[in-house]
Structure 1
Amino acid sequence: MGVLTDYFRAPDAATVVRALELGEGVLPPFDGPSGGSSDEASEGAFEGAFDGVRAKGVDPDVMLGQLVAAVLGEPWRAGLVSETAVWPTTPQPAPSGPWAEDDPWATGPWVTELGATARDALAGVPDERVPEAVARWAEAEEWYGADPSDLLPLAEELVALARRARAAGERLYCWICL
């Protein structure tokens, strides 16, 4: 079973929760981006509840955290990308259980708000340093055997999304589903 992850920007957690409660989801079904790779073209790539990037399997703590660490030029550490749960909105059960089979905390989807450190690090990396950061990101054991040139487009999309979020005074969020 794979983990699906989408990163998106929104003004605040309340806006994200309203969209999820209305059944709008966070990103529309994927039809492929429209336009080129510039920030302006990417801005209209998704016509749904939020502007976002599909990043299958790139979890916030480890995988995105390693990209943020590479951008910052520091070693990865757990918690580098801080997260605050936004969805589900019901109280989270104790880790020891018991969990009901239909509990949204057990079944997902889950949405977390990322701390400003991740947004600002990605938004602030100069374009000419992105390939260097991606080369370091590709060395992570989770990317075993990955070619940095295959990861570069995703990193560029995440950087562009972070820049748009920072420019708009918005936060980054991650939608996760099994």
Structure 2
Amino acid sequence: MLTDYFRAVDAASVVRVLQGADDRPLVGGGSPHFDGVEAKRLDPDLVLGELIAAIRQVPWEAGLVEESPVWPTTPEPGPGGPQAEDDPWATGPWVVELAASVRDTLAEVSDADVPTVVARWVQTEELRPASVEDMQPLAEELIRLARRARSAGEKLYCWICL
């Protein structure tokens, strides 16, 4: 799974970029569309959820990271899942908007608290055998991104591709 986290004014601006035929990356090298962080395998519900749990000092639980779908723009499939192989809900990519509470939780972590938070985060099963040294730079990037988003009155989004 590939994931990128980025900030944008609103979901409509994200959809406009995704509908365009532009070859520019969403985040990262070149001339990206959005200010963001490349974060391979950091899915919003589980692994980012574990980081949010570590910051808030609460146990992880499903739904801790509230998110709402932005892309694809077609209606979500029903309980039976996508009915066709080429359904965008089956093939991706997908983009979700993260709740403002997630952005604010990340943004409020003080620089001095980052090592302690990351030490709690790397204890989770999903990150083993990662170390604080492995994960601290990524946590710092996500925290800085959240701070920039909050300062600009923007939201955080996650692009996901299998």
- Contact 1:26–1:175 (CA under 8 A) maintained in structure 2: no
Aligned position for 2:10: 12
Q: Secondary structure of the residue that 2:120 maps to in structure 1? A: helix
Aligned position for 1:23: 21
Aligned position for 1:152: 136
Q: How many aligned residue pairs are there?
A: 161
TM-score, normalized by length of structure 2?
0.94
Q: Give the Å deviation of 1:98.
A: 5.2
Aligned position for 1:129: 113
- Contact 1:20–1:26 (CA under 8 A) maintained in structure 2: no
- 1:48-107 alpha-carbon deviations (Å, 9 max, x no partner): 110000010000011001101111121111111101000000011113145201100000
Aligned position for 1:143: 127
Counterparts of 1:59 and 1:6, CA distance in 2: 9
Counterparts of 1:73 and 1:23, CA distance in 2: 43
Counterparts of 2:68 and 2:10, CA distance in 1: 12
Aligned position for 2:72: 88
Counterparts of 2:25 and 2:100, CA distance in 1: 20
Q: Secondary structure of the residue that 2:46 maps to in structure 1? A: helix
TM-score, normalized by length of structure 1?
0.86
Question: Is 2:63 the partner of 1:64?
Answer: no
**Cα distance change on mapping 1:49 and 1:148 into 2, 3 Å:** same
Amino acid at match of 1:85: P
Q: Which runs of 5+ in 2 are unaligned?
A: none
- Contact 2:25–2:31 (CA under 8 A) maintained in structure 1: no
Q: Which runs of 5+ in 1 are unaligned?
A: 32-45
Q: How many percent identity over aligned positions?
A: 61
